Amino acid sequence: MTEKEFLPSYNNNLPESGTVTWKAPSNIALVKYWGKKENQIPANPSISFTLDACATTTALTYQKKENSDGFAFELHLDGKPKPDFKPKIEHFFTRVEDYLPFLKQYHFTINTSNSFPHSSGIASSASGMAALALCLMEIERQISVKMDDDFFKRKVSFLARLGSGSACRSIEGDLIQWGSHNNIQNSSDLYGVPYPYQVHSNFKNFHDTILLVHKGQKQVSSTVGHNLMHGHPYAQTRFTQAHENLDKLQSILAKGDLEGFIAIVESEALTLHAMMMTSLPYFILMKPDTLEIIHKIWDFRKETKLPICFTLDAGANVHVLYPEHIKDQAITFIQERLVMHCEQGHYICDRAGNGAKKIVSSTV
Ligand code: DP6
């Protein structure tokens, strides 16, 4: 597949106006995407669980305008204007314009809201860009002669990637792989695909309890973060390692090997942070409470032999991962021993989910 597949093939029979609404979830990477090339091409392949509770709902209202001079849109978060998000959307529209040529024909009102508080330190770019891409593709679906569901999802993922890399893993569930890999059939740098191999029931309904250690703005934006991998002394080794970890995961996922899973997932999280600590400039994004939590998880695992582990994104919050069959013990442990490390005791109970959902669509 190449980008050309996504160039549109419809006539100019555009509806006057309408509204579409989609809800898209966030996702948590097991093998991390960290480092990218031109045009949002990942430096290495990644895989993630799509989440369920953490999600963005976006209603996109479109109204034909008289000229097609430029992009015209306004953006509201939780009903309030959000002008500081505009440059990111403008940039996204510029990147996807060739693939969605109707963009300049409309004035858009984007009404968006997150299920998690904006100040929780949880990045909304994956779910936000996925929801917006879904709404835009819903318009394209209305004007296309025929479009099958697989193409719809593939193009949404392709567009979402151009907004934010990890967003391409937020369309479907529950295990999504993105980035070309020799041993993963149909894998692509251009979009995410449902993981195509056998997955043991141990990995169904996997839980992710997100401990909000540090709320507020990310210390390092993802753009700055990914750029740190250019000229990084360990970059090539890291990219190779991601390919190898995906190879190892294949039999781990098939066999239900929770021990093997934990080893890869925790190593990936610490490697991500090691990359940040060893780049120039360097960053430490973990907080003392992040480390306390990690040590307590390790101690608890040793004591109980229960398969509970952690992963991190590019911040101080900890994602505690565990299978369905230990959920009662895990939640008791989290409440009794980990929640004390969260800012204001806040945490979010999430789990692997099935992907985005259409809420409503109407045209005039
Ligand atoms: C650490 O997808 O936020 O969460 O493509 O610049 O928008 P951009 O980056 P983004 O990076 C996510 C990085 C990560 C790891 C991951 O989700 O794989």
Q: What is the mean pLDDT of residues 110-117?
A: 93
pLDDT, tens only, 241-270: 999 999 999 999 999 999 999 999 999 999
What is the position in ligand 1's atom list of the atom closest to the CA of 169? 17
Tokens representing 331 are 């939640």
pLDDT surpasses 90 at 225: yes
Q: What is the mean pLDDT of residues 25-38?
A: 98
pLDDT, tens only, 345-363: 999 999 999 999 999 777 7
Spell out where the chain has E strands.
17-31, 36-37, 41-42, 46-64, 72-77, 80-81, 106-114, 175-178, 192-194, 207-211, 309-312, 318-322, 347-351, 357-363
Question: Phi and psi for 139 in degrees, rounded to 5?
Answer: -65, -45
pLDDT surpasses 90 at 297: yes
Distance 221 CA to ligand 1 centre (A): 9
Interacting residues of 282 by C-beta distance below 8 A, sequence separation 6+: 276
Q: What is the mean pLDDT of residues 18-46?
A: 98
What is the position in ligand 1's atom list of the atom closest to the CA of 226? 6
pLDDT at 1: 66
CA distance 9 to 310: 45
pLDDT confidence bin for 9, thresholds 50/70/90: confident
Distance 219 CA to ligand 1 centre (A): 14
Distance 101 CA to ligand 1 centre (A): 27
pLDDT confidence bin for 11, thresholds 50/70/90: low
Interacting residues of 174 by C-beta distance below 8 A, sequence separation 6+: 49, 50, 204, 206, 352, 353, 354, 355
**Domains in the chain, start-ordered, CATH in brackets?**
13-197+355-363 (3.30.230.10), 201-351 (3.30.70.890)
Ligand 1 proximal residues by C-beta, below 6 Å: 29, 32-34, 40, 46, 123, 125, 164-166, 222-223, 226, 272, 313-314
pLDDT, tens only, 313-329: 999 999 999 999 999 99
CA distance 156 to 174: 17
Residue to mutate (ligand 1; options 27, 31, 33, 176; most atoms within 8 A of CB): 33
Distance 122 CA to ligand 1 centre (A): 12
Distance 30 CA to ligand 1 centre (A): 12
pLDDT, tens only, 50-72: 999 999 999 999 999 999 899 99
| Sign for the pseudo-dihedral over CA of 303, 309, 312, 316 | negative
Q: What is the mean pLDDT of residues 228-247?
A: 98
Among the ranges given (3-12, 41-50, 223-232, 254-263), the one the predictor scored with the smallest mean pLDDT: 3-12
Q: What is the mean pLDDT of residues 208-231?
A: 91
Distance 166 CA to ligand 1 centre (A): 5
Q: Do the Cβ atoms of 352 and 52 come closer than 8 Å? A: yes
pLDDT at 254: 98
The SS3 assignment for 51 reads strand
pLDDT at 143: 87
Residue to mutate (ligand 1; options 222, 223, 265; most atoms within 8 A of CB): 222
pLDDT at 126: 96
pTM confidence score:
0.97
Mean pLDDT, the chain, whole residue set: 95
